[in-house]
Amino acid sequence: MKHEWRKHEKELYIPKQKPELIFVPKHKFLMIKGEGDPNSVEFSRKVEILYSLAYAIKMMPKQGYTPEGYFEYTVYPLEGLWVLTDRGRKSDVLYKNELLYTIMIRQPDFVTKEVVDRAFESVRKKKDHPLLEEVSFDTIEDGLSVQMLHIGSYDDEPQSFEKMKEFIRENNLELRTLVHREIYLSDPRKVEPAKLKTVLRYMVKRL
């Protein structure tokens, strides 16, 4: 049976439109860091290289190599860890040029460093992408988190973050870090801003 994250991992990827407390276990990711406006060409290129590698891994059996433990699956959605620079935090207005980010795509548990190295080779043969060397493969555990589904423009996310912060205060929790996670369930190239679906997540701890 094909593993589809939308069906089989709803608690992580299809939350309600109100804040909820969850525990997010360790997951493996392909990731790349950057800074500045996510509407830039550079950001798009970083997204492109992540997807190139993710699909290279998914398609390996059709290229003649089946990783140990491989199973059919749907490629996971793009995710991002976001925080502002010190200068950006001091401003009352959001300057997107002051954003620091790590964008990533989760990988199934069977993916190892060897599998990722093969994916790099495969992508490099087709097109030696200049950003390839900036991609890393690592494990992240968000742990105890508050998350909710935001529907609408990315620019309207502060309204949802306020609801999450209120939930955090009411439930004797506090932020573990100023970094927050976003999981993009919609393709902004195909979906109008008012209908975009994004999972927002804060990493928290109990007081």
**Per-residue pLDDT in tens (0 to 9) along the chain, 207 residues:** 899 999 999 999 999 999 999 999 999 999 999 999 999 999 999 999 999 999 999 999 999 999 999 999 999 999 999 999 998 888 888 889 999 999 999 999 999 999 999 999 999 998 878 899 999 999 999 999 999 999 999 999 999 999 999 999 999 999 999 999 999 999 999 999 999 999 999 999 999
Domain boundaries, the chain: 5-142+177-192
Q: What is the DSSP letter of 3?
A: B
**Three-state DSSP class for residue 113:** helix
CATH number of 5-142+177-192: 3.20.80.10
181 closest CA partner among 113, 107, 108, 102: 102
CA distances (Å), origin 179, targets 59, 69, 175, 193, 204? 33, 33, 9, 24, 11
Cα-to-chain-centroid distance, residue 48: 14
Q: Cβ distance 79 to 183 under 8 Å? A: yes
